[in-house]
Homo-oligomer: A and B are copies of this chain.
């Protein structure tokens, strides 16, 4: 396993143990799946991946494990209505995403262009006790722009 992935899995395991729950083989596989990709998988995609090793795994177990990770702040959940939620277990802290309206891909966006506004500053300015933020940019990704071009010609 890639050392960076291993490191994240260890972090996630540690926080589950702190929560007082066991990291069973199925749960471990969920963590590994989340830590192994930056594609922001859906619950179904995680389910399929886990089933490759433990074919009898149910969807409820995936939801359950993700719930535990959410409680410990070890996974970022991007909610959508109508389409399945996407999960980021590689970088669970708040960070911006690029979302393609055509192919539904979700990419991490690096911050070089954006000055991050700290939650503390906004909390102070608004009186809210803020715990996380969500920043998404919606549009058409370069690949889909190409495809659209191709179709037009």
User: Footprint of B on A, CB under 8 Å?
Assistant: 79-82, 84-85, 98, 100-101, 109, 112-115, 117, 119, 121-123, 125-142, 145
> Please, which residues of chain B bring their CB within 8 A of the CB of A119?
137, 139
A-B contact pairs, 29 of them (CB 8 A): A81-B81, A81-B84, A81-B85, A101-B131, A109-B122, A109-B126, A112-B125, A113-B117, A113-B121, A113-B125, A114-B117, A114-B122, A119-B139, A122-B137, A127-B142, A128-B137, A128-B140, A128-B142, A129-B139, A130-B137, A130-B138, A130-B139, A131-B139, A131-B140, A132-B139, A133-B138, A134-B134, A135-B135, A135-B136
Bound Cα distance from A140 to B123, whole angstroms:
10
Copies in the complex: 2
> Please, which residues of chain B bring their CB within 8 A of the CB of A85?
81
Q: Nearest CB to that of A81 among chain B residues? A: B79
**9 closest Cβ pairs, A-B complex:** A130-B139, A79-B81, A127-B142, A129-B140, A113-B125, A134-B136, A128-B139, A129-B139, A133-B137
Q: Nearest CB to that of A143 among chain B residues? A: B127
Bound Cα distance from A129 to B100, whole angstroms:
9
Q: A98-B130, A109-B126 are known contacts; what are 20 more A-B pairs with Cβ within 8 Å? A: A79-B79, A79-B82, A81-B81, A81-B84, A101-B131, A109-B122, A113-B121, A113-B125, A114-B122, A115-B117, A119-B139, A122-B137, A123-B139, A126-B137, A130-B138, A131-B139, A132-B139, A134-B135, A134-B138, A135-B135
